[in-house]
C-alpha cells in the first residue's frame, strides 16, 4: 500500500488557485482586501467622512430624527441606496434610559473614537495580509475599535461587504440584523469605557501556510485523544490552551457584514474584534489558514441561524499573556470545500479528501501562538450550508490532530448523524493511520450503500 507520506506530495499538485478545488461557489463575496487603510481616498476622508463624524461628535443634532436625517443625507451623497430602517427599529426597541444614553453619550463618544483613526494609524499604516505572506499584523484593541466605529458610521470607503450599512437596510432579515447590532452595541459600550491598559492590549493576525509534507511524521496509529460533547458549543471552552476553529468562508467573515447567521458569522458578532479580518485579509487559498490571537468574546447568545439572538454581556475569563501583551485566546479560520447538493459524491474522491486534510493540517499546526499541548476545539466543520459529510469531516480532523500531535475537543451540536461517534472513536483509536486513510479513500465505491461510519465499522470488522 502507498504510504500517506508518499501520497501527501500529490497535495502540492493542487493549484494555488482556490477555484481549482472549490466545488461551486461558497459565497457571493469575491472581493479581496484593499491595499491600504485607513485612507484609500484621503481627500474623501477630509472632505466628507471627517465632516460627518465631527458633526456627530459635536452633537449638532437636536434629537434622534435629526441624526437619522443627517445620516440619510450622508448616504445619499455617497450614492448608497441602503436605508436605515433596521437601525431605527433597534433604537425604538431600547428602553427610555438607553435611548437617552444612545443619543447623548454613545453616538458622540463613538464618533470621537472613529475620528481617532487618523492619529492611531498615522505612523503605522494598516498592513494588508496578502496571500502566502505569513508576516503578522499587530493592532491594539483601541485601533481596532476605531476601525469598527468607522464601519458603524459608514466612513470607511464604501463597499457593502466592508461597512455595517447592510445591517441597517430593511426589511430583509430585519430580526437577524437587529440581533447583530445588539451584539456590536454591547461591544462598543464596553470598549468605550475600557481602561487604557485594556485598550493597549494587542490583537495579532497571521496567515498560516501548509508546511512541506517532508516535515510531517505520520503517527503509526490514530492516537490523538478526543473528548466528545453533544450539548456544548466551541465558544464554551475558555481555557488558555483552547484553540477555537472558525468554520470559515474562503473570504473570512463570510456573510457577517450582510445577513449571514451561522457559525462564523455568530463568532464574529459576539467577538467583534474579529471583524478587522474582513478589512485586511485577502481570501484564503487552499494551503492557508488565518490565526487570530488576542481577540475576545463580548456577548453571549442563544439560538442559531434563524433563531440567533443576543443574550447578554459576556466577560471573557481568559487571562493576559504578559509576554506578548494580549489576551490568551486563539481563533483559527480554515475554509472547507463547498459542494452543491447535486454533486455531493465528489467529496469522497481522494483529491477532495486530501484537500480537506491539508487544510486541517495547516490550521492545526504548531506555532509560537498555538504551541504544542494546546487543544483543538472544533465541530462539524464544512457541513451544514457547505454540505460536507459530517462523519467524513470528523475523521479528517482527527487524522490532522494526530499528525500535529494535538488533542481534540469535538462538539457535535447534537447532530443525529453523529449518534454513533463514540463507538467510532472506540473502533479507530489505536488503529493504523495508513489503514484509516485507506478506509476513507475506499469509501467512495460504497457510498450509496453505507454511511461513512457504517463503512468504517464494516471495514475494520472484516480486517481482523
Distances (CA, A) of 9 to 15, 289, 322: 13, 19, 40
Torsion of CA 65, 71, 76, 80, to 10 degrees: -120
209 is in an annotated binding site: no
130 phi-psi bin (left φ>0, alpha ψ -120 to 50, beta other): beta
Please tell me the distance from the alpha carbon of residue 360 to that of residue 364, in angstroms, as a whole number: 6
C-alpha dist (Å) from residue 213 to 196, 224, 254, 289: 44, 19, 29, 16
Whether 246 is a known active-site residue: answer yes
Nine-digit cell at 308?
A: 440567533
3-state secondary structure of 309: strand
User: What does the block give as the cell for 225?
Assistant: 485523544
Is 263 marked as a binding-site residue? yes
**Which residues neighbour 186 within 8 Å (Cβ) at sequence distance 6 or greater?**
298, 299, 310, 313
3-state secondary structure at position 418? helix
Antiparallel, parallel or unpaired: β 330-335 and 288-293: antiparallel
Q: Is 264 annotated in the active site? A: yes
Catalytic residue among 7, 179, 246, 258: 246
Cα–Cα distance, 85 to 96 (Å, whole number): 19
Cα(99)–Cα(297) distance, rounded to whole angstroms?
25
Q: How far does CA 220 lie from the centroid of its chain?
A: 33
Q: Please give the backbone phi and psi of residue 155, each rounded to the nearest 5 degrees, phi first.
A: -105, 25
- What does the alpha-carbon distance between residue 454 and residue 458 come to, in Å, rounded to a whole number? 6
Choice among 7, 169, 264, 296 that is catalytic? 264
* 265 is annotated as an active-site residue: yes
Q: Is 313 annotated as a binding residue?
A: no
Q: Per the residue annotation, which of 157, 258, 265, 389 is the catalytic one?
A: 265
- DSSP letter assigned to residue 216: -
Rounded to an integer, what distance in angstroms lies between the CA atom of residue 341 and that of residue 70? Answer: 46
- Annotated catalytic residues are 246, 264-265
**Binding-site residue positions for substrate:** 249, 263, 304
Binding-site members are 249, 263, 304
Amino acid at each position: 500500500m502507498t504510504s500517506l507520506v508518499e501520497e501527501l506530495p500529490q497535495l502540492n499538485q493542487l493549484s494555488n488557485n482556490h477555484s481549482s478545488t472549490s466545488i461551486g461557489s461558497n459565497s457571493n463575496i469575491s472581493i479581496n482586501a484593499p491595499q491600504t487603510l485607513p485612507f484609500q481616498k484621503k481627500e474623501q476622508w477630509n472632505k466628507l467622512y471627517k465632516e460627518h463624524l465631527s458633526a456627530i461628535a459635536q452633537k449638532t443634532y437636536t434629537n434622534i430624527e435629526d441624526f437619522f436625517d443627517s445620516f440619510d443625507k450622508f448616504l445619499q451623497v455617497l450614492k448608497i441606496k441602503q436605508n436605515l430602517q433596521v437601525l431605527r427599529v433597534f433604537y425604538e426597541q431600547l428602553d427610555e434610559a438607553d435611548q437617552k444614553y444612545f443619543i447623548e453619550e454613545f453616538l458622540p463618544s463613538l464618533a470621537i473614537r472613529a475620528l481617532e483613526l487618523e492619529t492611531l494609524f498615522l505612523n503605522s499604516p494598516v498592513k494588508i495580509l496578502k496571500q502566502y505572506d505569513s508576516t503578522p499584523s499587530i493592532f491594539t484593541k483601541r485601533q481596532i475599535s476605531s476601525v469598527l466605529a468607522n464601519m458603524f458610521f459608514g466612513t470607511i470607503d464604501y463597499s457593502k461587504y466592508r461597512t455595517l450599512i447592510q445591517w441597517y437596510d430593511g426589511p430583509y432579515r430585519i430580526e437577524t440584523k437587529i440581533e447583530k447590532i445588539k451584539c456590536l452595541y454591547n461591544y462598543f459600550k464596553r470598549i468605550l469605557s475600557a481602561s487604557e491598559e485594556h485598550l493597549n492590549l494587542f490583537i495579532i493576525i497571521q496567515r498560516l501556510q501548509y508546511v512541506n509534507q517532508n516535515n510531517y511524521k505520520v503517527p503509526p496509529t490514530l492516537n490523538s485523544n478526543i473528548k466528545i460533547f453533544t450539548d456544548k458549543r466551541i465558544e464554551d471552552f475558555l481555557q488558555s490552551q483552547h484553540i477555537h476553529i472558525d468554520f470559515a468562508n474562503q473570504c473570512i467573515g463570510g456573510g457577517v457584514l450582510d445577513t449571514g447567521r451561522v457559525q462564523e458569522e455568530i463568532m464574529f458578532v459576539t467577538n467583534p474584534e474579529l471583524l478587522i479580518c474582513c478589512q485586511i485579509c485577502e481570501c484564503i487559498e487552499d494551503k492557508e489558514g488565518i490565526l487570530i490571537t488576542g481577540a475576545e468574546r463580548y456577548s453571549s447568545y442563544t439560538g442559531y441561524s434563524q433563531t440567533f439572538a443576543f443574550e447578554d454581556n459576556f466577560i471573557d475569563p481568559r487571562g493576559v499573556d504578559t509576554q506578548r501583551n494580549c489576551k490568551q485566546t486563539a481563533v483559527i479560520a480554515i475554509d472547507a470545500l463547498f459542494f452543491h447538493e447535486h454533486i455531493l459524491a465528489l467529496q469522497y474522491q481522494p483529491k477532495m479528501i486530501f484537500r480537506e486534510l491539508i487544510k486541517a493540517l495547516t490550521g492545526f499546526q504548531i506555532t509560537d501562538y498555538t504551541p504544542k499541548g494546546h487543544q483543538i476545539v472544533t465541530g462539524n466543520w464544512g457541513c451544514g450550508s457547505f454540505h460536507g459529510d459530517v462523519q467524513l469531516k470528523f475523521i479528517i480532523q482527527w487524522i490532522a490532530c494526530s499528525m500535529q500531535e494535538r488533542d481534540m475537543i469535538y462538539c457535535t451540536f447534537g447532530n443525529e448523524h453523529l449518534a454513533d461517534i463514540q463507538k467510532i472513536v472506540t473502533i479507530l483509536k489505536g488503529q493504523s493511520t495508513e489503514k484509516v486513510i485507506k478506509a476513507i479513500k475506499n469509501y467512495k465505491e460504497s457510498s450509496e450503500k453505507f454511511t461513512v461510519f457504517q463503512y468504517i465499522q464494516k471495514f475494520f470488522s472484516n480486517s481482523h
